[in-house]
Amino acid sequence: MKNIFKKELMRVFSDKKMIFSLFILPAIVMIGVYSLMGTMMNKMESDIEEHVSVTYVQNVPEDFKALAAQTGYDVAAEIKYVAADASAEEVEQIKDDILNGDADLFVVFDKEFLAKAEAYQNAGDPIPGVKLAYNSTMNYSSAAKSMFEAMVLDVYETNLLQNRFGNMDLLTVFTSEDELIINEDKANGLMLASMLPYFIIMMLFAGAMGLCVDAIAGEKERGTMATMLLSPVKRSSIVFGKLFGLSVLSALSSVVYAVSMIIAMPMAMGGLGMGEISFSVLQIVELLGIMVSLVLFNVCILCLLSVFAKNSKEASAYVTPVYMVVIVLGMLTMFNVGGTAPATSSYAIPIYGSSLAIQAVASNELTLAQFGLSVAGNILCVLVMVVVITKLFNNEKVMMNA
Amino acid sequence: MIEIKNLTKIYKLNKKKMMELKTKETTKKAADNITLTAKPGEIYGLLGPNGAGKTTTLRCVATLLTPTEGSVSVCGYDTVKQSEKVRENLCFLTNEIKLDPHFSPKYLFQFFGKLHGLDDATIEARRKELFEYFEITAFENKRIEELSTGMKQKASIAVSLVHNPQVVIFDEPTNGLDIVTARNVTDLLLKLRDEGKLVIISTHIMSEAEKLCDRIGVIIDGKKVTEGTLSEILAETNGADLEDAFFRLYKEHHKEEK
Ligand SMILES: Nc1ncnc2c1ncn2[C@@H]1O[C@H](COP(=O)(O)OP(=O)(O)OP(=O)(O)O)[C@@H](O)[C@H]1O
Ligand SMILES: [Mg+2]
């Protein structure tokens, strides 16, 4: 068994191509994707900030210019005045521009906006209105609308109310103050918690996939499995040697994934505006425990599927649907953040339970029972699968395609 | 010593196999009540046309398949109940069973030596001897995938002989080899026989069976139709040579079938 274990490792470490595709390539891809994501998001944000929005206004109140100058709106946006008697075509043109992104906002004040507002006395008097036309699918346009509301409309509102009541405090019924009482770890963890299980589960499975398919179905295809079966070694030793070797390899490759993710995360998170994430020793131990059980589970299920295949191609065909299921299980938890807590028993479901547990670790909520269940669920399946795989290795129909 | 007693092997056919064999039956009797004995110091040849059941018989001997009925023993060990013991005493060579292309002959030799439970010194001594005989010392550190077909064949023979097995099974030994390499292989088989090993091969090449085999068992449609030395078979069938004898047996067999 020791020799077969060693050979599985040798297989990878004596082959530059394998080392590259298993350890170096994922690291490069991970770091590449994340830093790209980070820079793109940063670029988008600064882009919106730098963009000078084009705003068309019609029927502006007399003091609009003064107000815009006072709040600095005339610098923040390029204001274009539209004549009160503008034709329908002109208005259409502006709306088209907004649709295309050539303009960002079209504001139409009611005629005699200020006069109406100031003349208001009793209920039933006419209330002046403002129409804002913008394109909610355009980031620039949405930003232009928010800016106009904050720098122009809100100021008007305050001024007019001030005039109407003299004292603004009359309008204040009470004050409220928000005090945020949140677990800092949880708040930061929440974001991470939603994505971490998905990433871990996907990369662990992907890392083991090629390896297992090649080590079982590939060997059958090349006729090297039969050579192994002809040696006076118990079939169970072959199975154990292979499973352990593959587990160690896929664990190693997932360590590479994890390390490159830790390096790359801050780059991407900068873009999302996320805080620092730090794990306690207990959290790391729990995470490792879950991951080890996951690696074993993945290796077993992949080998089990590969045993049935005559060649790598067939094995890939069996494995792909399972990969999809795994991805979906990882994603299920992604959308469940902050929702109703799943039943404790669901932690025992392989993969899905691990996904829940990883999520709970990240938001610092994992109980010992949940941890135990998720690991036990995986390991139990592993034991069953090991027995089945050993049986299959003794089965000539499966091994010799007879 | 190999003792095959009433060996019958029935394959279950799936739909695809049924199509391939153009049959409506769901099973295929590949070996039909075969009984034979081969002794150390002889080359026993299974001669038969394609699909006769030669490979099936040899795989049963090599523990890769379990007989549906009957039993096989190698060196006194039963291939089903003591399969590990049997595997310690034999080597099985075919074109389909290959060495891992990513490793060097040297590494694989040591690997299989260890699987056979040999110590390093023994492995090293065996390796020197066999690698020199097969002239693979020069490329012992190259990966199998870099070697030519002939070199690969030599390497895989050398590796499978690591444990100095008493029984050597070879399914179509010269299939796909050029005359020079084929000659190397047949020379080796003769050498092994002279060392007192039991060699059992399968072939459909008449000249190979004539020149190489001490005793020949003719297999047609899974049945052993006759057995003996070349002269015994020729005498029995009144054939001029083995090919002639074979066709007489073949016709005879098919007459019985109808
Ligand atoms: N795995 C299998 N499943 C079903 N039928 C099989 C299987 N292997 C072989 N057979 C059938 O059993 C019969 C005997 O096959 P076998 O390979 O033993 O013949 P052979 O004498 O070695 O022929 P060849 O000279 O072509 O190698 C053939 O009809 C073959 O189609
Ligand atoms: Mg054959």
In a domain, B140, yes or no: no
Which spans in B38-148 are helix H?
54-61, 83-89, 105-115, 120-133
Domains of chain A in sequence order: 2-35+185-399 (no CATH), 51-171 (3.40.1710)
Put simply, whether B114 touches A (Cβ < 8 Å) is yes
Q: Is the CB of B217 under 6 A from ligand 1?
A: no
Query: Is residue B27 in some structural domain?
Result: yes
What chain A residue is nearest to B162 in terms of C-alpha separation? A231
User: What is the Å distance from ligand 1's center to B60 Cα?
Assistant: 12
Query: Whole-structure pTM over 0.90, yes or no?
Result: no
- What's the gap in Å between the CA of A237 and the closest CA on chain B? 10
Cβ distance of A224 and B100 shorter than 8 Å: yes
Tell me the shortest Cα–Cα distance from B13 to chain A, in angstroms. Answer: 9
Residue B212 falls inside a structural domain = yes
In chain A, the N- to C-terminal Cα span, in Å, equals 26
* Cβ–Cβ below 8 Å for B102 and A234: no
Task: Count how many pairs of residues, chain A against chain B, have C-beta atoms within 8 Å.
Answer: 70
Alpha-carbon radius of gyration of chain B: 19
Residues of chain A with pLDDT under 70: 180-193, 265-278, 336-340, 402
Ligand nearest to the CA of B53: 1
Least CB-CB distance to A223: which of B59, B97, B102? B97
Query: Which residue type is seen at B25?
Result: E
Upper half-sphere CA count for residue A198 (Cβ side, 13 Å): 15
**Domain assignment of residue B201, yes or no:** yes
Ligand 1 centroid to Cα of residue B28, in Å, is: 9
Cα B193 to middle of ligand 1, angstroms: 28
What is the pLDDT, as a whole number, of residue A27? 80
Q: Is the residue at B88 inside a domain? A: yes
Which of A211, A222, A235, A238 has the most B C-beta neighbours within 10 Å, making it the best mutation to test the interface with B?
A222
Which of A326, A330, A329, A308 is CA-nearest to residue A317?
A: A308
Q: Is the CB of B203 under 6 A from ligand 1?
A: no
- A92, containing H or E segment: helix A88-100
Could you say which of A7, A15, A400 has the minimum Cβ distance to residue B111? A7
Residue of A nearest to B157 (CA): A227
Please spell the DSSP secondary structure of B83-114, one letter per residue.
HHHHHHHEEEE-SSS---TTS-HHHHHHHHHH
* Distances A398 to A9, B8, B14, B83 between C-alpha atoms, Å: 25, 20, 13, 18
Tell whether B241 is covered by a domain.
yes
Torsion on CA atoms A382, A386, A388, A390, rounded to nearest 10? 170
Instruction: Write out the two tokens for A72.
Output: 């600095």
Q: Is A3 on the interface with B (CB under 8 A)?
A: yes
The identity of residue A339, as a single letter, is G
Cβ of A165: how many Cβ atoms within 10 Å?
Answer: 11
- The pLDDT value given to residue A265: 67
| Domain count across chain B | 1
Q: Do B102 and A222 touch (CB under 8 A)?
A: no
Q: Is residue B135 part of a domain?
A: no
The interface pTM score, or ipTM, of the predicted complex is 0.90
How far CA A67 is from CA of A63, A119, A162, B162, in Å, comes to 6, 20, 15, 96
For residue A273, what pLDDT is reported? 47
Q: What is the CATH number of the domain that holds B81?
A: 3.40.50.300
- Locate all alpha helices (DSSP H) within A312-362, ordered by sequence: 312-334, 352-362
User: What SS3 class is residue A127?
Assistant: coil
pLDDT in the model for residue A2: 81
Long-range contacts of A323-330 (CB under 8 A, 24+ apart): A323/A205, A323/A206, A323/A209, A326/A201, A326/A202, A326/A205, A326/A351, A327/A198, A327/A201, A327/A202, A329/A201, A329/A355, A330/A197, A330/A198, A330/A199, A330/A200, A330/A201, A330/A202, A330/A355
Question: Inter-chain contact A231–B87, Cβ cutoff 8 Å?
Answer: yes
Of B34, B170, B166, the C-alpha closest to B92 is B170
List, as own/partner pairs, every contact residues A68-74 make where C-beta atoms lie below 8 angstroms and the sequence separation is at least 24, other chains included.
A68/A151, A68/A152, A71/A151, A71/A152, A71/A155, A72/A151, A73/A147, A73/A148, A73/A151, A73/A152
Is residue B30 situated within a structural domain?
yes
pLDDT along chain B (258 residues), means of 10: 95 84 86 95 95 95 95 96 95 89 94 94 95 92 91 92 96 88 92 96 93 95 94 92 92 80
State CA B137 to chain mean position distance: 26
- Residue ranges making up the domain that contains B230: 2-95+169-253
Q: Which H or E run contains A130?
A: strand A130-134
